[in-house]
Amino acid sequence: MKVNVTVDCTPEEARAFMGLPDLRPLQAAMMGEVEERMKTAMRSMDPEQILKTWFGGAAPGLDQWQKFWSQFGPGGSAPSP
Protein backbone atom coordinates (compact mmCIF):
# COMPACT_ATOMS: atom_id res chain seq x y z
CA MET A 1 0.00 0.00 0.00
CA LYS A 2 1.32 3.40 -0.97
CA VAL A 3 -0.02 6.67 0.40
CA ASN A 4 0.93 10.12 -0.91
CA VAL A 5 0.19 13.25 1.06
CA THR A 6 0.55 16.66 -0.55
CA VAL A 7 0.65 19.74 1.67
CA ASP A 8 0.27 23.14 0.06
CA CYS A 9 1.52 25.84 2.45
CA THR A 10 3.95 28.71 2.63
CA PRO A 11 7.30 28.40 4.43
CA GLU A 12 5.94 30.60 7.24
CA GLU A 13 2.95 28.29 7.70
CA ALA A 14 5.21 25.23 7.71
CA ARG A 15 7.48 26.76 10.38
CA ALA A 16 4.50 27.67 12.55
CA PHE A 17 3.00 24.19 12.14
CA MET A 18 6.28 22.53 13.16
CA GLY A 19 6.73 24.90 16.10
CA LEU A 20 9.90 26.53 14.79
CA PRO A 21 10.60 30.14 15.80
CA ASP A 22 10.25 33.05 13.40
CA LEU A 23 13.79 34.38 12.98
CA ARG A 24 12.97 37.23 10.62
CA PRO A 25 13.18 39.96 13.32
CA LEU A 26 16.55 38.61 14.51
CA GLN A 27 17.87 38.42 10.96
CA ALA A 28 16.71 41.97 10.24
CA ALA A 29 18.42 43.25 13.40
CA MET A 30 21.66 41.44 12.61
CA MET A 31 21.71 42.65 9.02
CA GLY A 32 21.09 46.20 10.24
CA GLU A 33 24.08 45.88 12.57
CA VAL A 34 26.30 44.49 9.79
CA GLU A 35 25.21 47.31 7.48
CA GLU A 36 25.96 49.95 10.13
CA ARG A 37 29.42 48.50 10.79
CA MET A 38 30.18 48.44 7.07
CA LYS A 39 29.07 52.05 6.67
CA THR A 40 31.28 53.09 9.60
CA ALA A 41 34.28 51.29 8.10
CA MET A 42 33.63 52.76 4.66
CA ARG A 43 33.39 56.27 6.11
CA SER A 44 36.84 55.89 7.61
CA MET A 45 38.12 54.58 4.23
CA ASP A 46 40.92 52.77 6.05
CA PRO A 47 41.61 49.61 4.01
CA GLU A 48 43.03 47.75 7.01
CA GLN A 49 39.94 48.54 9.10
CA ILE A 50 37.67 47.40 6.26
CA LEU A 51 39.55 44.09 6.01
CA LYS A 52 39.29 43.60 9.77
CA THR A 53 35.55 44.23 9.60
CA TRP A 54 35.07 41.78 6.74
CA PHE A 55 37.32 39.05 8.11
CA GLY A 56 36.74 39.51 11.84
CA GLY A 57 40.29 40.51 12.72
CA ALA A 58 41.75 37.47 10.99
CA ALA A 59 42.94 39.50 8.02
CA PRO A 60 46.66 39.85 7.45
CA GLY A 61 48.18 43.28 7.95
CA LEU A 62 48.15 45.81 5.14
CA ASP A 63 51.93 45.61 4.82
CA GLN A 64 51.67 41.86 4.15
CA TRP A 65 49.11 42.48 1.39
CA GLN A 66 51.38 45.13 -0.14
CA LYS A 67 54.37 42.76 -0.08
CA PHE A 68 52.32 40.04 -1.70
CA TRP A 69 50.93 42.20 -4.52
CA SER A 70 54.18 44.11 -5.12
CA GLN A 71 55.84 40.97 -6.46
CA PHE A 72 53.39 40.96 -9.40
CA GLY A 73 53.78 44.62 -10.31
CA PRO A 74 56.47 46.46 -12.29
CA GLY A 75 59.89 45.88 -10.77
CA GLY A 76 58.59 43.07 -8.62
CA SER A 77 60.16 39.69 -8.63
CA ALA A 78 58.12 36.55 -8.30
CA PRO A 79 59.64 33.91 -6.04
CA SER A 80 61.69 31.35 -7.88
CA PRO A 81 60.48 27.73 -7.81
* Per-residue model confidence as pLDDT tens digits over 30-69: 999 999 988 887 777 667 776 777 776 555 566 677 777 7
Give pLDDT, residue 38: 84
User: Residue 10: is its pLDDT beyond 70?
Assistant: yes
Domain range enclosing 28? 11-70
**Total domains present in the chain:** 1
pLDDT of residue 78 exceeding 60, the answer is: no
List, in order, residues 6 or more apart from 15 with CB less than 8 Å away.
21, 22
* 16-34 mean pLDDT: 93
Residue 76 in any domain: the answer is: no
- Size of the chain in residues: 81
Q: How far is CA 15 from the centre of its chain?
A: 25
3 in a domain, yes or no? Answer: no
Could you tell me if residue 80 is inside a domain?
no
Asked whether residue 55 is domain-assigned, the answer is: yes
Q: What does the mean pLDDT of the chain come to?
A: 80
Q: Is residue 30 part of a domain?
A: yes
Give pLDDT, residue 52.
Answer: 73
